[in-house]
Structure formats: C-alpha cells, structure tokens
Amino acid sequence: MISKDLVAASARPLILSLLSGGESYGYELTRRVRELSQGNLEWSDGMLYPVLHRLEREELVVSEWKQSDTGRERKYYRLSSGGRRSLQAERQQWLTVHNTLCKLWKIKTVSI
C-alpha cells in the first residue's frame, strides 16, 4: 500500500495524465487509477475532488456537466492547453526523481 502523503502528492500528475487521454469524470478517474496501479492506489473522494477543483481554479482543467448514455448527470473534466503544459513540467520532475532513485538502486533509467 502506498503512503497517504505519496498518494496525495502523486494525484496531480496522475489526474493530468489520465485527462490527457480524453475527458473523464471523478468516479472513472478513481476506477482507472485503481486498475492501473493494480489496487495499490486508492483515491478517496475527499482527496480527489478538492484536487480536481484546485486544478480547475488554476485553469489547468475545464469542467462541464453532461448527461451520460445511461441518463446520469456527470461533471466531466478535460485538460486545457495550460494543463498540457503543466503535465509536461510534472512529467519532467517525476522522471527526474524516478531516475535519481533508479541510479541509486542500480535499475535501468528512462529517457526524459
């Protein structure tokens, strides 16, 4: 299980990356991150939505209420152009940390 602090810290790049693949809504983001992490990353609503709203206030994501195919109303989020730029910066930072750790642990690094 991943520590609470790390879950909170990684939420931002994860949300931005998930949204770079197309618009999505809160519950789907939670579900997808759970699948991708094989159940190791469990987002609570109390963590996810405030982060999403913060990203919206920072104009990195744009939201819109839409009706889904099932007739349910959902608030969809999508990446803005500022969000794409922010994702690039996040990517660089996270890969730098990743590579530093890889070198220390003598694992193959990735190219940034």
Name the site residues for another protein (rule: CB under 8 A): 25-27, 44-47, 49-51, 53-54, 56-57, 62-65, 67, 70, 72-75
Closest distance of CB 99 from another protein, Å: 30
Closest distance of CB 68 from another protein, Å: 9
- Quick one: which of 2, 20, 3 has its CA closest to 12? 20
Cα distances from 23 to residues 1, 4, 38, 86, 103, in angstroms, run 28, 26, 22, 17, 36
For residues 16 and 85, the answer to whether their CB atoms sit within 8 Å is: no
Query: Which lies closer to another protein via its Cβ, residue 20 or residue 63?
Result: 63
Query: Which lies closer to another protein via its Cβ, residue 74 or residue 98?
Result: 74
Query: Which lies closer to another protein via its Cβ, residue 26 or residue 82?
Result: 26
- Quick one: which of 48, 58, 53 has its CA closest to 87? 58
